[in-house]
Amino acid sequence: MNKYHHLYDQLIQHTNKENVLINEPIREHTYTKLGGAADFYITPSSYEEVQAIIRFANQENVPFTMLGNGSNLIVKDGGIRGIVMNLQQLASIWREGDKVISQSGARIIDASRFALEEKLTGLEFACGIPGSVGGALYMNAGAYGGEIKDALESTVVVTKDGELLTLTAEQLDLSYRTSNIPDNGYIVLEATFALKAGSKEEIKEIMDDLTYKRESKQPLEYPSCGSVFKRPPGFFAGKLIQDSNLQGHQIGGAQVSTKHAGFIVNKNNATASEYISLIQFVQATVKEKFAVQLEREVRIIGEDAEE
C-alpha cells in the first residue's frame, strides 16, 4: 500500500476496472527493459475517460505521467509515483481523402504501413521508428531526412485541465526532436497527416531500403532506447563516441553498443542506475576529449530506488 492506493475505488469510477493495474512493473512496457513499478498503470478506452482521469488527478493532486511505447524513456529503478497513463486502447487509424488520421496509441510504424496500403506517400521515413504516434509528435520523431513536422497537419490534444483542443501542426512549434507539448502538458489523442497519392511500389521500395539500413546498422537484438544523444551541431554523436574508444564500454549490464556507438544497450539485466551512469560517463568522456557537450535525446523519469 502506498500513498495513492487508497484512491483506487475512486479511480475505477472513471474507467473499467480492467484498465487499472496496481504496482505494474514498468520494465514490461519500455524498450530498455528498465525501471521499477508504477503505482497505477491506466489504459483508458475513450477520450472522455482520458479527460475524466486528468481531472481526477488534478483534483486529488496525484502525479501524472504519459507513457507511449516506452522507446525513448529510461524509467528509474524506484518506479513512478501516482498515475501512469498509456493509450494502447486508442489506436485506430483511418483515411479521409488523402489524409491519414491516427489515434495516438497506434504505433507510428502502423500509421506508416497503413499509408503504404492506401498508396499514400509522406510517412515512409517513420516505417522503423518504434514509438507511438503520441510519442512521435512529442519529440518530432524523424529518420533518414524526414520528420513528423513534414507530414503533420493537425492534432487533437487534451489540456492540463482536461479540455479537448484541436491544434494545427504550426501551433506545436515542432523542431529538431522537440515540440511545445511538454511545456504545455498536452496529451496527444489524435494526429492528422496530410499525405499525397503515390505509387505503392515506389513507397514500398523506399521503406524496404530504410528498413535494410536500420537493421544493418542498429543493435536491434538488444533492448535499448535508440539513439541516446541528439546530433550536436557540426558533429555526429556516434562518431565522437567511437573516436573516444567507448564502444564496448560497460557499467554493470549496460554497454555502449559495439554495432552503433550512438546506442547504449541493456546487454545483461542492467539496472536503470547502471544505464544512467554509463550515459553520464559517455558525456563526460566526450566532453573531455572533444569539448562537445552531448545532449540527451532520451528522457529519464521516475524515482531512484530506496537504499
Tell me phi and psi for residue 251, to 5 degrees. -125, 115
- Residue 73 or 278: the one with the smaller Cβ distance to ligand FAD is 73
Segment 116-155, which members bind ligand FAD (CB under 6 A)? 129-132, 134-136, 138-139, 141-143
C-beta of residue 87 within 8 angstroms of C-beta of residue 132: yes
292 binds ligand FAD (CB under 6 A): no
C-beta of residue 233 within 8 angstroms of C-beta of residue 240: no
31 binds ligand FAD (CB under 6 A): yes
Of 177, 214, 231, 296, the active-site residue reads: 177
Q: Which three cell numbers stand for residue 297?
A: 535525446
Segment 83-122, which members bind ligand FAD (CB under 6 A)? 87, 104
20, 38, 62, 66: which one binds ligand FAD (CB under 6 A): 66
Question: Which region among 70-78, 111-119, 228-236, 253-261 touches ligand FAD (by CB under 6 A)?
Answer: 70-78
Of 104, 154, 227, 244, the active-site residue reads: 227
- Catalytic: 227? yes
- In whole angstroms, give the CA distance from residue 116 to residue 111: 9
- Within 8 A by CB and 6+ apart from 235, the residues are 290, 292
- In whole angstroms, give the CA distance from residue 9 to residue 124: 44
Task: Identify the residue whose cell numbers are 500513498.
Answer: 3
- Catalytic: 216? no
- Catalytic: 147? no
Strands 254-256 and 263-266: antiparallel
CA distances from 115 to 35, 60, 106, 134, 141 (A): 34, 42, 13, 17, 17
- In whole angstroms, give the CA distance from residue 133 to residue 156: 12
The contact pattern for ligand FAD, residues 210-239, with x = CB under 6 A and - = no contact, is --------x-x---xxx-------------
- Residue 200 or 217: the one with the smaller Cβ distance to ligand FAD is 217
Q: DSSP 3-state assignment of 197? A: strand
DSSP assignment letter at 102: E
54 binds ligand FAD (CB under 6 A): no
Segment 174-203, which members bind ligand FAD (CB under 6 A)? 181, 187-188
- Residue 66 or 276: the one with the smaller Cβ distance to ligand FAD is 66
- Residue 292 or 301: the one with the smaller Cβ distance to ligand FAD is 301
- Residue 52 or 290: the one with the smaller Cβ distance to ligand FAD is 52
DSSP assignment letter at 217: H
Q: Which residues of this chain interact with ligand FAD, rule CB under 6 A?
A: 31, 66-73, 87, 104, 129-132, 134-136, 138-139, 141-143, 181, 187-188, 218, 220, 224-226, 299
Residues labelled catalytic: 177, 227, 297
